[in-house]
Amino acid sequence: MTQEKFELNEPLEKIFKHKELEQIVKAIVSGKYSWACFLILHFSGYNPMDFIPYRTYIRLLKNNCQVGGAKLYPNEHRKLELLSARILPGSDKHGSN
């Protein structure tokens, strides 16, 4: 395992918007570390599905997002209020295996 050197060249405020940083901190304080990692990846411009298993991705969304009547598209999460929402049960068309 190799460790990459990471340098922060920009202030944190320029990487994340204030509201995004609040959501990340709230997830950490609540003990939702997986959700915090999801948010960090998402708000940094990465697709969380590239880093976490599909079932974990769906579980995190179900536990932390709500989409009432609208379809949830992975590339449009930034438009959602992620922590203030819940996904409605049965909205996932994929069965658990």
In a domain, residue 64? The reply is yes
In a domain, residue 35? The reply is yes
- How many structural domains comprise the chain? 1
Give me the pLDDT at residue 33, please. 95
Residues in contact with 40: Cβ distance below 8 Å, sequence separation at least 6, in sequence order: 24
What sign results for the dihedral spanned by CA atoms 85, 39, 93, 63? negative
In a domain, residue 91? The reply is no
Give me the pLDDT at residue 68, please. 54
pLDDT digits (tens, 9 = 90+) for 43-73: 998 999 999 999 999 999 999 986 554 444 4
Provide the residue range defining the domain that includes 36. Answer: 15-79
